[in-house]
Each structure stands twice: as C-alpha cells, then as structure tokens.
Amino acid sequence: MQEKIRNIAIIAHVDHGKTTLVDAMLKQSGVFRENEAITERVMDSNDLEKERGITILAKNLSIHHGGYKINIVDTPGHADFGGEVERVLKMVDSVLLLVDALDGPMPQTRFVLKKSLDLGLKPIVVINKVDRPGARPAEVVDMVFDLFCELQASDAQLDFAICYTSAKMGYAMREMEHPSENMEPLFELIKENVHPPEGDAAAPFQLLVTNIDYNDYIGRIATGKIFNGKVSSGETVALIKRDGTISKARVTKLLGYEGLKQVEIAEAFTGDIVTIAGFTEVGIGESLAAADNPIPLPYVAIDEPTLSMNFIVNSSPFAGREGKLVTSRNIRERLDRELRTNVSLRVSDTSNADTFQVSGRGELHLSILIENMRREGFEMAVSKPEVIMRMVNGVRHEPMEYLVVDVPAEYQGAIIERMGPRKGEMAAMTPMGDTIRLEFIVPARGLIGLRGEFLTETRGTAVITHTFHEYAPYKGEIPGRKNGVLIAMEQGETTAYSLDALQPRGILFLGAGVEVYGGMIVGQHAKDNDLEVNPCKGKKLTNVRASGSDDAIKLTPPRLLTLEQALEFIDEDELVEVTPMSIRLRKKFLDPNMRKRANRS
C-alpha cells in the first residue's frame, strides 16, 4: 500500500493557477460524474476565497489514478498566509512548483520554493498558462533554474522534472513539441518522480498534526500524515503536547479522503494523510503516537509575525447598534479560537482590559481575520498596523520586504521617485515587452498605504506583490500621510446641502443621509491639517426666492473605502470602527478638547 501512495503539495505565487490545476486533475481522474455540475476552483470553499478568487486555507484531497493514490494539498499563494504553506510541507514528499509562463518566478515563488528546498524536497516544475498570449516557457524555465541556483539547491534538486500545462484548458505535456489532450503526462511525471512516503510500517504509530478543524457532530478533529506504523478506528492513542505532557484517548472516528470527500475508514497505514477525532484539546504541531510507546515527532518552525495592530472594544456612540458580539470577553474568546488553527497569529493582552494586541504576517492576514469576525456579528475598533521591531546585539532591526512592481514603461519614473522617501533600494530592473519589472528591498513600514498611491500614479496599471525578505537595521523615519482629514463636529444625519459646501475642501467618504457622530472622519482634507466640519447642516427655508440660490445640488460620488484601504489610510491617532454593516473611520479621542490635549503632549 505504501509503495502506491504519492503525497504532493502545489505551491506557487498568487494567481498562477494552483486551484485551477487541481480542478483539471480532478476532472481527469473521474472524481466527478459526467452529468455533475462542477463549480470553478472547487477547492476554494470558503466565502471569502470565492469572493476574492484567492486561496486562504490549505486543503487536502486525494485522487486514485492507475492504481496509485495521490494525496494533493492545495496551498495559498499570498505571502501573508505563508504559515499555511510551511506547516503542510511537512506532510508531503514532493511539491509541484507552479510558475506562470509569462510572469516567471515572483516573490512568493521564491518564498515557498526556499521553504521546500530547506526541507530537502525535490520539486517538479510546472510551467502553467502556456496558451497565454506572450507566453515564454523556455525563458521562464531558465529563470526558474537561476532561482534554484540562487537559493543554493542541491545537485539532485537542480535536476528537476519539467511539465508544461494549461490548467484552464485541461492539458499537460512533457515537451512543448509534443502536444497532448489531457493531464496524463503530469500524472505520469508525479508517479515517476515522487518517491513513496518513507517510514516503517512495523514501527509504533506516529502522526504529526498539521491541521485542526471543528465538526459540530464529532468535535475537534486533527489532520496529519502517518510517519510510522498504523492506526485503527476505536484504538487508544497518546497525544504528546509541545511541552512534553502526554494524555490518552480513543479514536472515535478515522477519516480518509476520496476525491474531495472525507470518508470513514477502519484503519490507515504509514504515508497516508488522515483525519482523527477523539481528542477534546489538540493543537497544530503536536504528535499522536502509540499508547504503549509514545515517541514525539519534530515540528517545523513557523516564521514569526511582522505586523501588529490593536483590537479594541467599540466605544463609539453607535456601539452595539449593528453587532451582537461587542464585549471584550466575546472578542477574546474568538481570538483564542482563531489561535488554535491560525499558526502565524499571536494575541497578547495590553495594560487596558478592552484592548488586545494581535500580530500577524501582513495586512491581508489580519484584514481577513477582521472580515471573518464582522461577518460573524462582531463589532470592534482596530488601530493602524505597526511593524514589529527586534533588538539584535543591541541594534534595533525592522522587517524588510522584497517588492516586485510590474508597470508600463511610461510610469517607471513615478514609481522609482515614490520609493525614495519610503527607503526602498532597487535590486533589479528587467524589461518585459511593454512593461518593466522593478524589484526593491523596502522596509515593511514603507508598504503601508503604498498600493493605493501606486495605483493612482499608474492609472491602475501597476501589479504589486511582496514577500518577507529579512530583518535589517532600522532605516530611519518614513513620512506618513500628507493630507489631514475632515472631522464631523456633531451627531446627526448628513445633508446634501452641507456636503455640497464641503466638496471643495477635500474628498468625501460618505454621501447624503448617512448618520455620523462627533469625532467621526467624513473625508480627506485637501491640506495637511485636520479640519472640523458640520456635514449635518440643513438649509434654512424662507419664503423669499432669489434667482441662482436654488440651483440643483450636484454631489461627486464619495470614495467608499474597503477594509484594507481604511487600514492603510488611518494615522496613529485614528481607528477603524468595524461592524457587520459598516466600516467607519474615527479619531481615537472623539472630544475635540481631548484631541488638542493629546497633540500638545
């Protein structure tokens, strides 16, 4: 059985087609009935994944093909979810490194490839989207080889197998000159190049927990790969915690994978990826082992968070109107629940009982958590993201990011000019047809608010990606937001009459008929200072009419900020109020006198 198992993960930069490739492999293997309606990107099951078209959580499935069982793990492409990739690499024996035939290796390609090379895995390189206009597969293969050399791959790893695919059209080929009509060449390549899982089937049972979930019927369930031995349903096994303590429980359910579905099985053997129920408290990185001979497994280290923000109990005048879960106890319980499955997240208490410091891998990592919480009925305020500094030999170090910007040639000057004040150092500049690829090493602080600025400068044509590079000595002050904000003076409902008068003062964030309160931010000021305004003033009606005074009011559509844009926009003394229905910006101190006092101090 062990000889016929192949465990692989699919790793790539965001949008290079990992989930679409899984779709094509599932269709080829006959998992779906002929008349079955198949959704696109079937592995992206979470609502947010479907909406944004990105993978957030790593997921398993298994395919039976030609007598072999191929266990596949689909991983996220965003650097912010790197923790998901790092822990699943311990479950597999090889990786499919997917690279876009036009874009070539990107920042996240470098990140996930380095992790897999460090673990000694031998990747199979898949050049995807070969049918794309402008595709340059031969050139991209050379770029991938250069990247392997740069990351100091071993000779065996440098001798990688190559496959050319179009996941969208559902075909793969060993060489560009020999076209095929299906994914068969990729399956053959996996069988030939991925070695069966190592491990001793006769040794005591050992499983490393790499994923945790909760089922309403059977409670907490743990997923992982069996490194040695076998396990049966109903058997008593030991749980070895990270601190070395051991507890025992009975396996109430043993689940394997058939295609996308979890199916109940009687027993599982070395090399298989299974899900086990029966433990009330089990964490990622812990080991399940034979009850009579419990031996723990070593765990892969997860990179530490680089960004933190405060989650604060909502104290605005509108608190509790839209959300059901508003207290510090509710928020703390939800964050504790998230910590069980989100390995890259850290939560710590502060001196204030209503404030929690939450640290993650990036803005997207934290904003996805906030978005999930507001959809569950939570209401809170969050502060501006701050980078996490480290002291190394008495010197303050900060996280640096590797930034890649693909931009039309006419805008390259504007991009380079913008990177100067943000302390970005150019690492490379590569022409790519009509566009130019600019690569920078920039402090993580310099990326906050960068995306909006770049998209404005390049008329929305820039493609921006970044990944964590290293910790380096502090680079000095980076200027913050240039513009001040328009702050509402009092509580009330905005009127078109007053907003019309405010339009020349800056950009408005809301339209007429919206409830506001004193201290709430209603727009961006055209100048660098904050300005208190009254957006609720109504027109005084008289029975005197004058020509020209009753012109129709024409309001410019307001700029409605998404959660990520709001987090990038706010300054040190501001908060984003997040509720299930609204995203509002506000000052930390709603009282103008308190604000003046805080500014003086």
Encode burial over 485-522: b for 16+ CB neighbours within 10 A, e otherwise: bbbbbeebebbeebbbebeeebebbbebebbbbbbbbb
Closest CA to 474 of 385, 400, 393: 400
Which tokens hold the place of 130? 């070969």
Is the model's pLDDT at 22 over the cut of 50?
yes
Residue 40 binned pLDDT confidence (cut-offs 50, 70, 90): very low
pLDDT of residue 540: 77
Q: 117 in helix, strand or coil?
A: helix
Which tokens hold the place of 264? 């109940």
What span, in angstroms and rounded, lies between the C-alpha atoms of 454 and 460? 8
pLDDT of residue 33: 45
pLDDT of residue 551: 64
What span, in angstroms and rounded, lies between the C-alpha atoms of 277 and 305? 30
Per domain, the residue ranges of the chain are 2-193, 206-290, 390-473, 485-600
What kind and span of H or E run contains 20? helix 18-28
What span, in angstroms and rounded, lies between the C-alpha atoms of 103 and 100? 5
Average pLDDT over residues 159-164: 88
For residues 192 and 467, the model is more confident at: 192
Is the model's pLDDT at 577 over the cut of 90?
yes
| 2-193 carries CATH number 1.10.10.60 | no
Q: Is 434 buried (19+), middle (13-18) or exposed (0-12) by CB count in 10 A? A: exposed
Q: 479 in helix, strand or coil?
A: coil
Kindly report, residue by residue over 429-449, the tens digit of the pLDDT.
888 777 888 889 999 888 877
What span, in angstroms and rounded, lies between the C-alpha atoms of 448 and 306? 13
Task: Map 305-366 to HEC letters.
Answer: CCEEEEEEECCCCCCCCCCCECCHHHHHHHHHHHHHHCCCCEEEECCCCCEEEEEECCHHHH
pLDDT of residue 379: 92
Kindly report, residue by residue over 531-544, the tens digit of the pLDDT.
999 998 888 777 76
pLDDT of residue 178: 77
Is the model's pLDDT at 23 over the cut of 90?
no
Q: Is 544 buried (19+), middle (13-18) or exposed (0-12) by CB count in 10 A? A: exposed
Q: Which residues pair with 127 in a beta bridge?
A: 99, 164
Residue 19 Cα to chain centre, angstroms: 15
Kindly report, residue by residue over 291-317, the tens digit of the pLDDT.
888 888 877 666 678 889 999 999 989
End-to-end CA distance of the chain: 71
Q: 239 in helix, strand or coil?
A: strand
* Same fold yes or no, 2-193 and 485-600: no
pLDDT of residue 193: 85
Please enumerate, by residue number, every residue annotated as part of a binding site for GTP.
15-20, 128-131
Please enumerate, by residue number, every residue annotated as part of a binding site.
15-20, 128-131
Q: pTM to 2 decimals?
A: 0.74
Q: Which residues contact 155 (CB under 8 A, 6 or more apart)?
A: none
The CATH-assigned architecture of domain 485-600 is Beta Barrel (2.40)
Average pLDDT over residues 455-475: 81
The CATH-assigned architecture of domain 206-290 is Beta Barrel (2.40)
The least confident of 16-30, 144-158, 166-180, 202-216 is 16-30
Q: Which residues contact 542 (CB under 8 A, 6 or more apart)?
A: none
Closest CA to 445 of 411, 409, 481: 481
Q: What is the fold of 390-473?
A: Alpha-Beta Plaits (3.30.70)
